[in-house]
Structure 1
């Protein structure tokens, strides 16, 4: 009888992923999409505007925006301005500045791995960076110019330091002080407040409380030195700027008028924002319910509760400060990955594979509609959403997207059975989806989000000889975009004192903004981004007409 040879199964990657596999996956996730598109409205444009001002003026002591002081903490802007200066020969300011987000994201993922390794073990710790990077809410902000990423890095470093206190007290205390001080330089005092009671809790749970309490006091002094030197320079060089900064800090520290509502909204946000860490953290609480008093679980539980309360009370129920809730959730979710029952693990694995395979298919179909006009109905919808956009085929981008899709197919076909397979497939699928969006959809998205074209049209409409432009109802992001693209600077004005300039620029209609344009004002331009069709979304430029009697010789 002929001998039947068993066909060997293709060999996939080892799980948990080795160092190089994990590094390549996270590098693709982190650095894809940081460059290659304009500043987008809201935090991305605002942050890049501040960095642009810092690079252009050389004033690194006091962050500014479009020629005006912008009281804010400087660490992220310093890193973004440094990368912009170093890479000015290669990248425009907005692309180079965004690399600061890549650096802080990389550090945050590294520190969360170290914290999980201290609290749990090395094999389980691999899940921590996958869970943090795989959180849906994290994806939204990790690829924009976002100062809160520096604060998130400080939090992850602080959790690692506190987990290290029992084993290496001096190193843990020093690292905690550095993290606290740099975190203050990144976003001020309010986002760092949750770490103080968490540090006190870690000391209270330690067997050597007295020594650790003294070391903690020393770390607070170190944090004060790191954060205070900048304030000291401001006190000597720019006391008015320092006063504005302290007022902003005090306002942020004030109790929100609706703290309970904010807490409720944060809790309702977390199931999707922190997916899949949120349900895995819940499973850990149930599966390890007899071990909740151990420091490896008690520390992240206490940290999450404290962070939830302080973020909700001081920073509000917004997507950006909610980033600070992810590290304790991730540290709590790590043991749940390996303890998940087989049926639930398989269901989670299949959910991730099917979800992102479907998303990848939809991304390709949408790209086909934008570039080739098929399917026709979808192509018409793409043009309707972004009027004037014309898609072009790019060989390099489409080739990279094909390669990423083939690697995804290979991964799901060859992955070995492991408790880590579900979270590995989730992170790989999220990375694939982001890669496809960046390589295939980015021109369409950038066309609709940038203010480049609107700013250029406004610049053409402005008279060559002008005094100043009064700006009413202009967000900081719009002010930053106009200054960045075409050097258009406005003077902030209230609806009641808008007559101090010859030109008036309003975001939205004059009636909605409370501005009276009767008696001498004439609209000379209106415009906005392609998808902004309503009058309330557009920019309107007015010019004050002089009466004939006011003209000399008339």
Structure 2
């Protein structure tokens, strides 16, 4: 009797299709959204529209929050696909590209460290991670960092094989990944991409012949990453000190408080779900193997991410993305060892949760399109006053197909240790896909600045050449630039030539500057805290 083969999570091609559906659903078909989405698309737009590919800018002002690798890719995609789709939709595909690289890197690394099944399961676990869902569906450079992390782990895993050939290949992979991460987010990548290989040298697997691979990775990664600051120093040397100040600030601990620590713990409770509990189970199940390279590497990566999140980062869900790659790798090892009771409970919880959420999304979508049930429909119009939902057959058909996929998965997935992780990933695709199909017009209505920009342009009556701006945020400036090509100048009391002043403030307080009269005010329909006001110089 031949032993049965271990059950795989999904065959490679269905897994690839599921990944593509996850990455593309809701990524296109809507305007730039407040806040990060609009900012990063604005930087990419400046690259594509004005041709200065060295200095990241928003409306002419230097934007040095991070290096420009992601924005370069976004600009090239937005410009290259302009004959098919709007610039912002094409540029946002950069996130899908780096997301695909993230899944590929996780699959290759987990396959090499653990098993073929773990390699196929790692992307499913990443797709199921709650905190990854929103960032991977907007213009977000941190997804490029995650892709770089996954390939750095792959390179370091090859280096640990301790042969000259694998050491060279692994060093090249890790070096390119290190450079890409540093060029995408700057010093935020130092701990996960530079410190991790250095700490790996403490382990015997990365000494001897393997040391060559680590050295190659460090020299190649740091050398390539230094190219862009070098170009910036040559073209705009006055910007370099500001850039370094911002990079050092990312490695400076913020003011500690018990409240911020509590906020981080709360985020830790949901952002890395479910890879955190499964990863912790892996540490227990393989507690006697933690010193092996397969567990030492992601364990150290997880500890470094926790240090960075709790000591060097603000309490934001985005910062907890640093945990995704190492925890996913640990969870890929642990999912195969889940006890039957725990696996069944996790599976049952996922099926019930996503079935309920899917039903609620359907209810909300039908209410917005038809006005019934009236109470549900009123909740949506109350949140976004003025929104009118329209009947859409394509949206309904797409939502129905996703629902059929979910129902099929409930009864047809074979029983295996991976069934729960597969259900969770498909459930995430169901939930987000239904929202993209049925709720996208409502979400776009509330998050875009397009109506505000159009109303402002009408008030300016074509006089956009000389407009001063005060207290405008980067997302707002980028949106106005993109929608109506408004490039306001920085407010200066000595500037007597411009006849217009645009301010951003709260809805409750208005500090009208002396010598100006208000001619317009506006805001996004559902935003009660943000108000734009346009003043004209009093004669």
**The two structures share one fold, judged by TM-score above 0.5:** yes
- Aligned residue for 1:81, secondary structure, equals helix
1:7 is aligned to none
- Report matched runs for 1:295-334 at 5 Å: 295-334=293-332
Cα distance in 2 for partners of 1:182, 1:441 equals 35
* CA 26–488 in structure 1, closer or farther in 2 if over 3 Å, else same: same
Cα distance in 2 for partners of 1:154, 1:261 equals 32
Cα distance in 1 for partners of 2:252, 2:68 equals 22
Task: Give the one of 47, 60, 72 matched to 1:54.
Answer: 47
Moved more, 324-333 or 499-508: 499-508
1:289 is aligned to 287
1:63 is aligned to 56
Is 1:87 the counterpart of 2:84? The answer is: no
2:484 is aligned to 486
Cα distance in 2 for partners of 1:407, 1:214 equals 48
- How far is the alpha carbon of 1:264 from its aligned partner? 5.0
2:459 is aligned to 461
- Report matched runs for 1:21-170 at 5 Å: 21-71=14-64, 72-167=66-161, 168-170=166-168
- Aligned residue for 1:531, secondary structure, equals coil
1:360 is aligned to 358
Task: Give the one of 524, 529, 534 matched to 1:541.
Answer: 534
Cα distance in 1 for partners of 2:507, 2:439 equals 35
- How far is the alpha carbon of 1:492 from its aligned partner? 3.1
Cα distance in 1 for partners of 2:19, 2:293 equals 29
Task: Give the one of 489, 501, 504 matched to 1:504.
Answer: 501
- How far is the alpha carbon of 1:262 from its aligned partner? 5.2
Task: Give the one of 181, 185, 196 matched to 1:198.
Answer: 196
- How far is the alpha carbon of 1:257 from its aligned partner? 2.3
* CA 32–374 in structure 1, closer or farther in 2 if over 3 Å, else same: same
- Aligned residue for 1:38, secondary structure, equals coil
Cα distance in 2 for partners of 1:339, 1:428 equals 21
Task: Give the one of 522, 525, 529 matched to 1:527.
Answer: 522
1:6 is aligned to none
* CA 247–74 in structure 1, closer or farther in 2 if over 3 Å, else same: same
Q: Which runs of 5+ in 2 are unaligned?
A: 1-6
Cα distance in 1 for partners of 2:464, 2:345 equals 65
Cα distance in 2 for partners of 1:330, 1:133 equals 10
Count of aligned pairs between the two proteins: 528
User: Does structure 2 conserve the Cα–Cα contact (< 8 Å) formed by 1:190 and 1:315?
Assistant: no
Cα distance in 1 for partners of 2:279, 2:50 equals 47
- Report matched runs for 1:196-345 at 5 Å: 196-207=194-205, 209-258=207-256, 265-345=263-343
2:4 is aligned to none
- How far is the alpha carbon of 1:544 from its aligned partner? 2.2
- Aligned residue for 2:175, secondary structure, equals helix
- How far is the alpha carbon of 1:232 from its aligned partner? 2.1
* CA 249–201 in structure 1, closer or farther in 2 if over 3 Å, else same: closer
Cα distance in 1 for partners of 2:77, 2:302 equals 33
Moved more, 468-477 or 322-331: 468-477
- Aligned residue for 2:472, secondary structure, equals coil
Cα distance in 2 for partners of 1:75, 1:92 equals 21
User: Does structure 1 conserve the Cα–Cα contact (< 8 Å) formed by 2:516 and 2:536?
Assistant: yes
Cα distance in 2 for partners of 1:198, 1:400 equals 43
* CA 466–130 in structure 1, closer or farther in 2 if over 3 Å, else same: closer
Cα distance in 2 for partners of 1:203, 1:339 equals 29
- How far is the alpha carbon of 1:164 from its aligned partner? 1.4
1:11 is aligned to none
After TM superposition, the score normalised by the length of structure 1 is 0.91
* CA 373–241 in structure 1, closer or farther in 2 if over 3 Å, else same: same
**Structure of higher CA gyration radius:** 1
Moved more, 276-285 or 218-227: 218-227
Cα distance in 1 for partners of 2:196, 2:257 equals 21
User: Does structure 2 conserve the Cα–Cα contact (< 8 Å) formed by 1:277 and 1:329?
Assistant: yes
User: Does structure 1 conserve the Cα–Cα contact (< 8 Å) formed by 2:159 and 2:214?
Assistant: no
* CA 140–464 in structure 1, closer or farther in 2 if over 3 Å, else same: closer
Residues 431-474 of structure 1: CA deviation (Å, up to 9, x unaligned): 01111111111011101111000110011111444663232222
User: Does structure 2 conserve the Cα–Cα contact (< 8 Å) formed by 1:41 and 1:477?
Assistant: yes
- Aligned residue for 1:339, secondary structure, equals coil
* CA 516–498 in structure 1, closer or farther in 2 if over 3 Å, else same: farther
User: Does structure 1 conserve the Cα–Cα contact (< 8 Å) formed by 2:181 and 2:193?
Assistant: no
* CA 205–326 in structure 1, closer or farther in 2 if over 3 Å, else same: same
* CA 466–275 in structure 1, closer or farther in 2 if over 3 Å, else same: closer
- How far is the alpha carbon of 1:418 from its aligned partner? 0.8
Cα distance in 2 for partners of 1:380, 1:123 equals 47
* CA 193–489 in structure 1, closer or farther in 2 if over 3 Å, else same: same
- Aligned residue for 1:16, secondary structure, equals coil
